[in-house]
Structure 1
Amino acid sequence: MVEIRVEGNKRVEAEAIRRALRTKVGQPLLPANTAQDLRAVWALGYFQNVELLVQHLPKGVAYVVRVEERPVIRLVQLQGNEELSRDDLKEEIEVKPNTILDMETVRSTVSKIQAKYVEKGYFLAEVTHQLKPVPESPGSVDVVFVINERAKVMVKQITFIGAEKVSPDILKETMITREGGFFSFFTGEGTYRQEAFDRDLQVIQYAYFDRGFINVRVDKPTVQLSADKRFIYITIRVTEGEAYDIGKIDFAGDLLPDVSKETMAALMRSRPGTRFNRTQLSQDIVSVSDVYYDRGYAYANINPVTNVNADTKTVDLTFEVQKGPQVTIERIDVVGNSKTRDKVIRRELRVYEGELYSGTGVRRSRERVTALGFFETVEITQKPGSQDDTIVLQVEVKEKATGTFQVGLGFSNVENFIFTAQISQNNFLGWGQSVSASAQISGLRSLVQLSFYDPYFLDTKYLLSAEFFRVQADYEGFIRNSTGGNVSIGYQFIDDLLGTVGYSREWVTVEAGQNLGAVLLANQFLSGVTSALRLSLSFDRRDNRLFPSRGFIHYGSVETAPSFLGGTFLFNRYTAYSRLYFPLPLGFVFKTNATVGYIQQLDKNKPLPISELYYVGGINSVRGYFLRSISPSVKVPRSASPDATVTDFDVGGNKQLVFNFELEFPIFEKAGLRGVLFYDAGNAYASNERFFQDKQDKLPLGLFHSAGFGFRWFSPIGPLRFEWGIPLTRRPEDDRILFEFTIGNFF
């Protein structure tokens, strides 16, 4: 063979094709090599057609490789997509511009786009593709994905056949797949997704297991499409069987000599004679396992063996224990923390190298690291150590952004406009410290604040916090200006129990309103200095300090401003609050808050200044009432004229009581949008009134009450709150419904 000739190539070099061939110039042309040459050229991936030809020449034989190149993709376009944007589909589009056309990739993209539409409820959507040659650029094509979305298909009805002993309503509550309704456009309910529905069938079975129906059978459901192809009707047939109770409970296998069977049984919620419950049984296995884990048996396995008695409708349970070897922790590895220092994570751990493995310690460690709020996920896994009696723990974290720069502008009919700016870092330089600078300006207040917080000052169990502030607040009857700061040192006595002692100094000026008969209140519009010591104690078991959904925090403080500290205002202030968080199914969270405050006059010749007293009302107190509008009041003249009319002037109370109840639920979880329903109650009381006292017999329990709803958006600039409060004990000056907006969390 005297020549290898390449024909039809435009972008691919001929030499690249020759190198792929097994046949070479100067070698005899063997038919056995031809098939290998064809596969080799085709495998280059650049051609949509390849031919191998032989041409006889006077000097010998020419081997001709004739190719037709695949076109280059110029543009990738979507056509017909109205409900889903290109951004919604970007993860599904595998075809990229300026690459060689691959039809397998095109077909894969068609399938993925169609699957995305099915996930979003467009069950009948059709997706095809077109290849459009580009006349001005020979060898190039535009790939167009043509989408016929059709109408969104909604689950109209879910019917259970045979569900008699467990209500269909209860079964539907366990399902992700829901019947659509009027608000489906906002909530997304009514969307049919096959993978979610497959999970639902399993959960329905578990719902029966939790009620003792151990022989329940859930048949393959029927899914029917309506004639107009807009609705889906689902029918699920259930064979319930009989409910079973728990018979005997026993333990066998590797039992611990210092732990009796009665002790382990006491740790369980399952009891003989009670209804069999699968979920409760799983929790009981965890409780029994912890007995072994906390003694170093990291590989303990608890296997419940069941013996079903059909005659008595009971299930006997025997917990077979295989304890495995007792192990110590050889090493703890921390991974995934590119910014956060190792010690910030390690100081939260409650398991230690060289000590026996502890299951409770591992669980508490994970909870404490998660509660820092620095990480999206925290996982603690284990693997064998260098010896049989050792184990290695790996703490794997996924960091999230902890620094924020926020600028916001809002409006409300209470404060008119609200401008806020904040720069903060909750994990400063990865040391676990928090620093922030913020400013707020509205129609009723202005605030500048600088703060610093170190939870482990100088790597000890002491914390240090410092704050500087300048505040101006309009109380309608007077304006309070203050400049000051405080510093606190705290100590963590035990896990989550923190005591602090702090000192604050604040310079306060009070300006009376222009149109008041200020003679009667002259001794209350006082300016001066507050110099105070504060002792506080808090017990914080929230799962996340920034956005809690489980746990509690209890707080109490005593602030004293005696004369020997050099202040003008002399008082004691007592404050306490308790906040509880309860996670509910489907991402719902129920929250409660109770706050009580009392300020005590220390010198009878120096009355409490009006600027230190309590005013209730507003978006961070009792919603539905104007900011600081709930207060004891006195009658004052509108002017200095002897015949001036009188008006009520809010003078503040020396006691306050506030209750808040919230049900928070997801709306668009991925976008960080949640809804809230709330009920508030509270009041501020004068010195001659008692808590819960009502002088006018118009306030149930002596409290102002309100209810309402709102939306919360955990936006890139911070948490935004939009809430509508309805005063239930409305006064003439109160609106029927009050909208308020603010930036930041409530509790």
Structure 2
Amino acid sequence: MQRLQKNSRVVLLAAAFMSTSAIVPVGLGPLSASVAEAAVARSIVVRGNERIEEETVLSYLTIRPGQSYGAGDVDESLKALFATGLFADVQITPQGSTVVVSVSENPMINRVSFEGNKKLNDDALKTVVRSGERSMLTRAKVQSDVQNLLEAYRRSGRYGASVEPKTIERANNRVDLVFEIDEGKKTGVERIAFIGNDSFSDGRLRDVIRTRETGLLGWLRTTDTYDPDRLAADQELLRQYYYKKGYADFRIVASTAELDRESNVFYVTFTVEEGEKYQISDVEVVSSLAEVDPESLRSIVRTDAGDTFNSLRVEQTVEDLTVKVAENGYAFAQIRPRASRDYDAKTISLTYYIEEGPRAYVERINIIGNDRTREYVLRREFDLLEGDAFNRALLDKAERRLRNLGFFEKVSITTSQGSAADRVIVNVNVEEKATGEVSFGIGYSTTDGVIGDVSVSEKNFLGRGQFVKIGVGGGTDNQTYEFTFKEPFFLGRRIGFDFDAYRKVSDSNDYRDYDEDKIGGGIGFTLPLREEELTLRLSYDIYQTEISDPDNLAFGLATCGNNTNLSPAICDSIGKRLTSAVGYQFAYNTLDSNLNPSDGIYAKFGQEFAGVGGDSFYLKTSAEARAYRELLPDFGLVGKVSIMGGHITGLGDERLRVSEQFMLGGSLVRGFENQGIGPRDSTTDDAIGGQMFFAATVEGTFPFPALPEEFGLSGAVFADAGSLWGSDDDLVGVVNNNGGNVVSDDFSIRASVGAGIRWESPFGPLRADFAWPLMKEDSDRTQVFRLSGGTRF
């Protein structure tokens, strides 16, 4: 840099762009002024121009050869020449009957560079400046560039950034333009406060919005900086949250962000009016279309009398009714929900009016901003095409679908007038975000010891909207390999297709005395029966399971008792076994979040039939239901109730193997080891599994009130119960016939209570549970402390 300063003359732009004025001969007095006004320009001479043609300069003058001119003409000509941005200085001087126009051309930019930038690279900064190589250097353009650079840094959360433009002169009237940048420190959000909220605490509402307060872990995230676009999105998130909770009159009075320049922090305040919480008193469907029977549409309505008012359910009902009525031939029908409030009873009467809407057509759908994502990936989320009847409800539905894809940072759908009064142009603006992930995980669990994984995943593979994942993992006692591919639109229809291949090698450990090597794969098709809620998955899986004695002493049932301490039931399973199975599964999901739900229901029921070739023959049935609800929203207390169960039965003369039966333990009923519950060979103490099981949990989770939110620590109290029983009769016979005895094979409930700690650490979730068994059998294996979790980088 010192060398550059010695060899180059660095000039501030302020000095480079000194204002100039026209030079007019002085000292001639008033008479000269009169004469000048009546002067005639016999000729015009241009001097000082090097790159700009003389004709170009003359074209901007109001003075013409052979015509008289005055001071006003000189002034207008000067303004016109300066307005071009081509000249640093201009002088117009009469010399007798000749007018001399002397110009000093603005230098040409040789190179644009940035110094001092680390958080934003050169490529990102070049996109926001107008000055470029081989263009004219102008004061106005550089000043505009400075403001654009400052705005770019503000968008990245650095309001203390400063930019100083400088020029380095080169030969032939060229300059290097350098923007010296002081990025400053990140301007964080020091505090987020709410005024007017009585039903929900500040902490609960902070969880709803995306903006976060700066804390100890602020260096790991970018949402703790002020962004006006994010603040606007936060307001919408607050509205949706209150509307879904029944507060139909909720409104945001104001949202302010005050910058403390001395401390370089923002203070964000939301002022709200919650209004009353409403329940739905009654629901009606009214149709003005003669051929549409309202009663036939009642089954589609998602809002029922007695429910808490939920704007999302109203919106989904409007969309469902719109599609259904359109299928009956009314493409222009509109569904208008109207709510009649009873303020005293705090109830809302909902009426869905079906009316004939204005006849308008979609002329064109413009997709803007999808640099990577292919256009058809966005278009297939629309239930209307170009030329179809225009319907606002279907556009809102498409906008929600696009947001749920997870491919875009921002999604906005607007409309404009088409080429005719009945034509509408739909404009879809998206801003893409990174969708790939390379992750490395490491952790520890009390069952598997040290565990780790490395995976590469992409949820928008090649911009086609497909999900691909390749992963390798392992621990002290196991290794896993997996490949997953998912296509959400199979053959151009809203049918999900998935394919996976895997291998899992599990060595013997404290709760399993045999090695297991499982390799296989499968395909599945997912059909939406009721969009976003009810789905049906059809699947086919094929895999090979190899059970082996870690000491290589047992080669089957005949030698088991003589050479190893393995249960005869396990010895009976030694060797390779191919399973080929088809199945189906219904899933119902109304959770508000699949990762950290606080409200909604998730339920599934499915069956699997093995016997489509292979060595296994059985019918397996499984079911699960979970319900979540905020019990004390002010304190963030979320209640959870879950129950699951299963049954498997062998088909034909084939008996079930140990690896095919259910196992039950600490993952479902805490306080017990993995495979710590249920039928067990009393001689070898090996778990052999059962044909039937159930597990139930009641749990409450809550954040620790005395700790800052950025710590991510929360607590839980729970009660678990379950049972595993009914081992295959033939398998029990194998044990008994070889001198063993099966215990705990009857239905007997195990129960436990406990407390736990959850840590949403910056490296991934960690969980520690302490559970005390209250009901157990003598042969059960207990485990008071259980630790699980891992990290992702």
Q: Same fold (TM over 0.5)?
A: yes
**1:52 lines up with 2:92 in the alignment:** yes
Question: What does the per-residue CA deviation read over 1:313-349, in whole Å, with 9 as the maximum and x for residues that have no partner?
Answer: 9999999989564659788969578975859965x76
One-letter amino acid matched to 1:729: A
Matches within 5 A, 1:378-397: none
Task: Report SS of the residue matched to 2:565.
Answer: coil
Q: Is the 8 A contact 1:407 1:419 kept in 2?
A: no
- In the superposition, relative to structure 1, how do residues 400 and 503 fare at CA in structure 2: closer, same or farther (>3 Å)? same
Equivalent in the alignment of 1:575: 622
Q: Which residue among 770, 782, 787 is the counterpart of 1:728? A: 770
TM superposition shift of 1:51: 1.0
Show structure 2 runs of 5+ residues with no match: 1-40, 555-562, 704-709, 727-743, 773-780
Residue 129 (structure 1) aligned to one of 164, 178, 182: 164
Give the secondary-structure state (helix, strand or coil) at the position aligned to 1:524: helix
Aligned AA (2:138): D
Q: Distance in 1 between matches of 2:458 and 2:234?
A: 43
8 Å CA contact 1:454, 1:463 repeated in 2: yes
**Aligned-residue offset at 1:529:** 1.9
What is the SS of the residue equivalent to 1:728? Answer: strand
**Aligned match of 2:583:** 535
Letter in 1 for 2:605: G
- AA of the residue aligned to 1:50: V
Q: Distance in 1 between matches of 2:392 and 2:79?
A: 58
Task: Give the 5 Å matches for 1:503-582.
Answer: 504=542, 506=544, 508-513=546-551, 518-525=564-571, 526-539=574-587, 554-561=603-610, 565=613, 567=615, 569-578=616-625
Rounded Cα–Cα distance in structure 2 between residues aligned with 1:361 and 1:157: 35
Aligned residues: 681
TM-score (norm 1): 0.63
Amino acid at match of 2:565: V
Match of 2:104 among 67, 90, 106: 67
Q: For the residues of structure 1 that align with 2:257 and 2:416, how far apart are their CA atoms?
A: 46
> What do the CA deviations read for 1:711-742 (whole angstroms, capped 9, x no partner)?
57xxxxxxxx7221202227997767444247
Residue of structure 2 in register with 1:609 after alignment: 658
Query: 1:71 Cα shift?
Result: 7.0
Rounded to whole Å, the distance in 2 between the matches of 1:250 and 1:615 is: 45
Matches within 5 A, 1:249-648: 294=325, 296=330, 298=332, 323=355, 325=357, 327=359, 408-413=439-444, 414=448, 416=450, 418-420=452-454, 439-440=472-473, 443-449=476-482, 468-476=501-509, 477-486=513-522, 497-498=535-536, 500=538, 502=540, 504=542, 506=544, 508-513=546-551, 518-525=564-571, 526-539=574-587, 554-561=603-610, 565=613, 567=615, 569-578=616-625, 596-601=645-650, 606=655, 608-610=657-659, 613-614=662-663
The one-character-per-residue Cα deviations of 1:641-683 (angstroms, maximum 9, x if unpaired) are xxxxx9x655556556667989999xxxxxxx99796869687
Q: Which residue is 1:709 aligned to?
A: 759
Asked if 2 retains the 8 angstrom alpha-carbon contact of 1:250 and 1:261, the reply is: no
Partner of 2:26 in structure 1? none
> Which segment drifts farther, 291-300 or 312-321?
312-321
CA 1:172/1:117 → structure 2, altered by over 3 Å: closer, same or farther? farther
Once the two structures are superposed, residues 602-648 of structure 1 have per-residue CA deviations (whole angstroms, 9 ceiling, x without a partner) of: 58984623476536667xx899999x5756696899xxxxxxxx9x6
Deviations 1:562-611 (A, max 9, x none): 5x9451x554433334577999999x999997654444455898462347
| 2:129 is the counterpart of 1:94 | yes
Report the CA distance between 1:409 and its aligned residue.
4.2
| Structure 1 portions without partners, runs of 5+ | 638-645, 666-672, 713-720
- Within 5 A, what are the aligned runs for 1:98-113? 98=133, 99-112=135-148
Deviation at 1:45, TM superposition (A): 1.4
Deviation per CA, 1:364-412: give whole Å up to 9, x if none: 6766777677777777777899999x877969586969996x7654433
Q: What RMSD over aligned residues (CA atoms) do the two structures have, in Å?
A: 7.0
Alignment partners' CA distance in 2, 1:459 and 1:51? 69
Q: Does the 8 Å contact 2:205/2:238 carry over to 1? A: no
Q: Distance in 1 between matches of 2:234 and 2:431?
A: 32
One-letter amino acid of the structure 2 residue matched with residue 508 of structure 1: E
Specify whether residues 508 and 462 from structure 1 end up closer, same or farther in structure 2 by C-alpha distance, changes over 3 A only.
farther
Percent pairwise identity: 15
Contact 1:469 1:485 in 2 (8 A): yes
CA contact (8 A) 1:624 1:706 kept: no
Contact map agreement 1:376 1:397 (CA 8 A) in 2:
no
Paired letter, 1:740: G
Secondary structure, aligned partner of 2:140: helix
Task: Judge conservation of contact 1:487–1:504 (CA < 8 Å) in 2.
Answer: no
Deviates further, 727-736 or 230-239:
230-239
Q: Distance in 2 between matches of 1:448 and 1:29?
A: 90
Distance 1:514 1:675, change over 3 A: farther
Q: Distance in 1 between matches of 2:485 and 2:233?
A: 47
Aligned AA (2:770): L
Shift in Å, 1:52? 1.7
- Measure how far apart 1:65 and its partner are: 1.6
Counterpart Cα distance in 1 of 2:713 and 2:389: 45
Task: Check the 8 A contact 1:625/1:727 in 2, yes or no.
Answer: no
Aligned to 2:749: 693
User: Is the CA contact 1:154–1:230 (under 8 Å) kept in the aligned structure 2?
Assistant: no
Query: How big is the shift at 1:524?
Result: 0.6
Distance 1:501 1:314 in 2: 48
Partner residue in 1 for 2:83: 43
Amino acid at match of 2:760: G
The verdict on how the C-alpha distance between 1:292 and 1:441 changes in structure 2, with shifts beyond 3 A counting, is closer
Amino acid paired to 1:518: T
Contact 1:677 1:709 (8 Å CA) reproduced: yes
CA-CA distance at 1:512 after TM superposition: 2.8
The aligned residue for residue 669 of structure 1 is none
What is the distance in 1 between the residues matched to 2:425 and 2:702? 36
Q: 1:231 to 1:285 in 2, by over 3 A?
A: closer
Q: Deviations over 1:513-542 (max 9, x none)?
A: 579972342441411323343331323667
Task: Say whether the 8 Å CA contact 1:171–1:204 is kept in structure 2.
Answer: no
TM-score using structure 2 length: 0.60
Cα offset for 1:705? 7.2
Contact 1:464 1:487 in 2 (8 A): yes
Deviation at 1:283? Answer: 8.1
Residues 481, 502 of structure 2: 8 Å contact kept: yes
Structure 2 contact 524–537 (Cα < 8 Å) conserved:
no
1:463/1:374 CA distance change after superposition, 3 Å: same
Cα distance 1:520–1:557, how it changes in 2: closer, same or farther (>3 A)?
same
